[in-house]
Structure 1
Amino acid sequence: METKRKNDLKKARTLQIWNVIYDTIEVIVSLIAGITANSSALIGWALDSTIEVISAATLGWRLHGELKGIDEEKVKKRKKITLYVIAVSFTLVCIFISYDSITKLLSQETASWSTMGLIILIISLIINPILIYFKRKYGHKLDSPALLADAKDTFICLYQTVVVLAGLLLVNWLGWWWADPVAALLIVPYAAKEGWEAYTKAREIKYSIT
């Protein structure tokens, strides 16, 4: 294996490890905040972070395999599995957010203010752009569709962070009870599109079964 590619693989794998660690913290904090405040947007955001942990861990597994020198067919297999995991992750995000948000719109449930939620959202606004930059950087260097798809997943998390933050502030400042579930629903079209793209790329990867 070329020294430069090996170094890039190590850096990309380390990036995924840090991604998993941060997102795990994000999941715990945002889930507690979401349940406490009865916020579908915060809970949906926590779910997206949970799925991001799964996809980042799966991608780290794929990168680790190549770094350890497994043969090309096994690398392709891991690439395919990783893209399928990402596609399923996006699908689950769409289903949960749609169900939870529509239910709360129909029942007109109002989310409460969450200082804890505000803090983790602001931290995420700082961390996620950094993760996106480096995932795209190493995705291009390693010619990795899975890493680039994972960067898009993180971008969705960033986009969702902005939307959820806006919803939280609108509920608190203007009393717009519907802002929280609507904020969550705005995530669905983009997540569905990226999930389909990951699924399509996974189907294009062919490898021999031995």
Structure 2
Amino acid sequence: MEPTRKSDLKKARTLQILNVIYDAIEVIVALIAGIIANSSALIGWALDSTIEVLSATTLGWRLHGELKGIDKKQVNRRKKITLYVIAVSFTLVCIFISYDSVTKLLSQQTSSWSTMGLIILVTSLLINPILIHFKRKYGRKLDSPALLADAKDTFICLYQTIVVLAGLLLVNWFGWWWADPVAALLIVPYAAKEGWEAYTKARDISIDEK
């Protein structure tokens, strides 16, 4: 392995480790804030972020494997298993968000203000663009579709952050009780799309491929 590629692989792996650490914190804080505030959007955003943790962890695992010299068959096996896990996870997230949001719309349940939620959302708005930049950078350097796809997932997470933040502020500023569950429902199409893409990619991978 060329020294330059090895160096870039190490940097990309470190980036994924930092990504996992941040996303784990994001999930915990957002879940606590969402439960306290009875916010479908915050809870849905937190659950969707758990997929980011899975994705980043797996990609880090695969990068580590390349550094250790595992063969193509092992890489494909890891990728296939992980993509199926991600697909199932996205499906469960879609079901939960849809049920929770529709229930709250029908019962007209109102979420309360969450300072903790605001802080983690704004932090995410600052952190995610940095992660996107470096994932794209090393994705191009390593000619890695997986890293570039992960950058796309992080960009989608950034969009969802803006939507959830908007819902939180609309509830607080204008008293629009429906803004929170509607913001949560806007996450569903993207989660469903990513889940289906993960499933189709997993199905197309041949473990016996050399």
Q: Distance in 1 between matches of 2:39 and 2:132?
A: 26
Cα pair 1:37 1:114 within 8 Å, conserved: yes
Query: Which segment drifts farther, 44-53 or 173-182?
Result: 44-53
Q: Deviations over 1:35-77 (max 9, x none)?
A: 1111010111111122211221122111111111111211222
Classify 1:205/1:141 alpha carbon distance in 2 versus 1 (closer, same or farther; 3 Å).
farther
Partner-residue secondary structure (3-state), 1:183: helix
Cα pair 1:128 1:155 within 8 Å, conserved: yes
State the partner residue of 1:10: 10
Q: How does 1:1-210 map to 2 (within 5 A)?
A: 1-208=1-208
Classify 1:91/1:140 alpha carbon distance in 2 versus 1 (closer, same or farther; 3 Å).
farther
Instruction: Flag structure 2 segments of 5+ consecutive residues without an equivalent.
Output: none
Q: Deviations over 1:146-180 (max 9, x none)?
A: 32332232222211110010000100111110000
Cα pair 1:111 1:171 within 8 Å, conserved: yes
Q: Distance in 1 between matches of 2:183 and 2:61?
A: 33
Letter in 2 for 1:83: L
Give the superposition deviation at 1:21: 0.7
Classify 1:205/1:185 alpha carbon distance in 2 versus 1 (closer, same or farther; 3 Å).
same
Q: Distance in 2 between matches of 1:2 and 1:80?
A: 27
Calculate the TM-score normalised by the size of structure 1.
0.92
Query: Which segment drifts farther, 77-86 or 51-60?
Result: 77-86
Cα pair 2:48 2:191 within 8 Å, conserved: no
Calculate the TM-score normalised by the size of structure 2.
0.92
Number of residue equivalences: 210
Q: Distance in 1 between matches of 2:149 and 2:102?
A: 28
Instruction: Flag structure 1 segments of 5+ consecutive residues without an equivalent.
Output: none
Classify 1:156/1:88 alpha carbon distance in 2 versus 1 (closer, same or farther; 3 Å).
farther
Q: Distance in 2 between matches of 1:122 and 1:60?
A: 26
Q: Distance in 2 between matches of 1:136 and 1:21?
A: 19
Query: Which segment drifts farther, 146-155 or 9-18?
Result: 146-155
Give the superposition deviation at 1:124: 0.3
Letter in 2 for 1:80: K
Q: How big is the alpha-carbon RMSD for the aligned residues of Structure 1 and Structure 2?
A: 1.9
